[in-house]
């Protein structure tokens, strides 16, 4: 059997094991071109942004936005009330430009110049948008053949020296941790990806991951009937047993088991590293989770850049955000 026939055969077998409903879901998902868009549509407005009441009615439109009137607090609101855009002094056109710059992964200075905003604003906007993207990514569930692995990033306190006592002497960015192997100087980032461009990644803890660390990131995030491929790291066995998933372990020194491998996640990592090290010249650990969703959405998700731009703009238009620009830089140094 040739490689592709073998793969098709496995797919066919996996498909036969699905329930009728899941078969239908699968068929719809492969026939749908805009996978990404489908998974991450923002939620409809469900509460009044002033008092959280669910008792509100439509009340005409204003500048193409639906207006609502809350029956409880008597205040009116539009779709954008409480969203990133609502409190912004800038027009939607500036935000559109900014989103374009983000999808192109332009450095902050270039974003600021193109949008004619100052650097501090460009910085705050980037992280408000990425915070919103975190919500979008929280909805992701891996299905089909998924691969998991973990990577490490040396703790970086870049730009964080004023209000933080460094536990070790500062070293230049990009230099290696002083201890050999995996030490407590490195944050661990467990990741899961599937072959359709869906991905999950966030910081779990310092040093090698325990079962609890892996659970924190992957538990409940994988559809039943999926096949999960990992390396030989021990905690995965218990994790996938608990999650009741088929588990394929690639032992140390091996590249593949049959047609199963961890190539997709390896390429996910090399592109992540490329973005963080070469494009953004290193990122502070406290913003690393934001850059992970940035990577997941812009680099890894399978959709055109133009579609991603539209999806992201639509999403932030509808996502409620309570973070003030001034608070973005105040978050704690390591978010584990
Ligand atoms: Zn209200």
DSSP symbol at 3: H
Residue 312 CA to ligand 1 centre (angstroms): 27
Residue 44 CA to ligand 1 centre (angstroms): 16
Residue 48 CA to ligand 1 centre (angstroms): 5
Q: Which of 329, 289, 259, 322 is nearest to 5 (CA)?
A: 259
Residue 58 CA to ligand 1 centre (angstroms): 13
**Is residue 132 situated within a structural domain?**
no
Expressed as residue numbers, the domain containing 150 is: 139-159+178-296
Give the CA count within 13 Å in the CB-facing half-sphere of 312.
30
Residue 81 CA to ligand 1 centre (angstroms): 12
Token duo for residue 321: 């955000």
Question: Is there a single domain that holds both residue 146 and residue 285?
Answer: yes
**Is residue 14 situated within a structural domain?**
no
Question: Is there a single domain that holds both residue 75 and residue 203?
Answer: no
Question: Is there a single domain that holds both residue 148 and residue 274?
Answer: yes
pLDDT computed for residue 110 by the predictor? 96
Cα maximum dimension of the chain: 69
Read off φ and ψ for residue 223, nearest 5 degrees: -65, 145
Residue 323 CA to ligand 1 centre (angstroms): 20
Residue 103 CA to ligand 1 centre (angstroms): 35
Question: Is there a single domain that holds both residue 50 and residue 148?
Answer: no
Residue 317 CA to ligand 1 centre (angstroms): 20
**Is residue 173 situated within a structural domain?**
no
Ramachandran area for residue 58 (φ above 0: left; ψ -120 to 50: alpha; else beta): beta
Give the whole-angstrom CA distance, residue 226 versus residue 215: 17
Question: Is there a single domain that holds both residue 59 and residue 182?
Answer: no
**Is residue 302 situated within a structural domain?**
no
Counted domains in the chain: 2
Question: Is there a single domain that holds both residue 46 and residue 145?
Answer: no
Residue 74 CA to ligand 1 centre (angstroms): 6
Q: For every one of its 336 residues, what pLDDT tens digit does the chain have, with 9 covering 90 and above?
A: 566 677 777 777 777 778 787 787 777 767 654 444 333 344 467 888 788 899 999 988 766 667 889 999 999 887 767 777 776 778 888 999 999 999 999 999 999 999 999 999 999 999 989 988 888 888 899 999 999 998 888 877 765 444 344 444 444 444 444 445 666 778 889 999 999 999 999 988 888 888 999 998 998 899 988 999 998 888 999 988 888 888 999 888 888 888 888 899 999 999 999 998 888 888 888 889 999 999 999 999 999 999 999 999 888 877 776 666 667 767 766 555
Residue 43 CA to ligand 1 centre (angstroms): 18
Question: Is there a single domain that holds both residue 71 and residue 192?
Answer: no
**Is residue 240 situated within a structural domain?**
yes
Question: Is there a single domain that holds both residue 63 and residue 202?
Answer: no
Residue 71 CA to ligand 1 centre (angstroms): 7
Question: Is there a single domain that holds both residue 143 and residue 77?
Answer: no
Residue 134 CA to ligand 1 centre (angstroms): 26
Q: How far is CA 110 from CA 100, 104, 245, 277, in A?
A: 12, 11, 45, 18
pTM value is 0.73
Residue 69 CA to ligand 1 centre (angstroms): 8
Quick check: 205 and 186 in contact, CB under 8 A? no
Length of the chain: 336
Residue 86 CA to ligand 1 centre (angstroms): 17
Q: What is the CATH number of the domain that holds 147?
A: 3.30.420.10
Give the whole-angstrom CA distance, residue 26 versus residue 151: 30
The SS3 of residue 255 is: coil
Residues with CB under 5 A from ligand 1 (ion): 48, 50-51, 53, 70, 72-73
Residue 77 CA to ligand 1 centre (angstroms): 9
Give ∠ CA 227-232-236 in degrees, rounded to 5: 55
């Amino acid at each position: 059997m040739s490689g592709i026939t073998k793969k098709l055969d496995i797919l066919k077998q996996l498909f036969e094991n699905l329930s009728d409903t899941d078969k239908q879901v699968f068929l719809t998902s492969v026939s749908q071109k805009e996978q990404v868009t489908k998974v991450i549509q923002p939620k409809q407005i469900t509460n009044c942004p002033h008092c959280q009441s669910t008792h509100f009615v439509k009340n005409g439109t204003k500048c193409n936005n639906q207006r609502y009137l809350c029956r409880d607090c008597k205040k009116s609101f539009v779709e954008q009330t409480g969203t990133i855009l609502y409190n912004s002094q800038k027009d939607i056109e500036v935000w559109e430009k900014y989103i374009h710059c983000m999808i192109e992964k332009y450095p902050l200075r270039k974003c600021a110049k193109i949008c004619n905003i100052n650097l501090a604003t460009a910085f705050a906007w980037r992280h408000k948008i990425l915070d919103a993207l975190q919500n979008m990514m929280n909805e992701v569930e891996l299905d089909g053949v998924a691969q998991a692995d973990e990577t490490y990033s040396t703790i970086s306190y870049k730009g964080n020296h004023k209000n933080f006592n460094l536990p070790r002497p500062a070293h230049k960015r990009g230099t290696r941790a002083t201890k050999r192997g995996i030490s407590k100087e490195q944050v661990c980032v467990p990741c899961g990806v599937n072959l359709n461009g869906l991905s999950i990644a966030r910081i779990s803890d310092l040093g090698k991951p325990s079962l609890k660390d892996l659970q924190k990131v992957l538990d409940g995030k994988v559809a039943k009937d999926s096949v999960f491929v990992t390396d030989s790291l021990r905690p995965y066995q218990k994790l996938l047993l608990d999650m009741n998933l088929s588990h394929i372990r690639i032992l140390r020194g091996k590249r593949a088991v049959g047609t199963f491998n961890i190539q997709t996640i390896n390429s996910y990592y090399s592109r992540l590293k490329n973005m963080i090290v070469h494009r953004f010249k290193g990122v502070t650990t406290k913003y690393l989770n934001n850059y992970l969703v940035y990577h997941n959405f812009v680099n890894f998700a399978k959709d055109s850049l133009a579609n991603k731009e539209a999806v992201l703009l639509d999403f932030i238009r509808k996502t409620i955000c309570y973070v003030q620009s001034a608070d973005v830089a105040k978050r704690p140094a390591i978010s584990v």
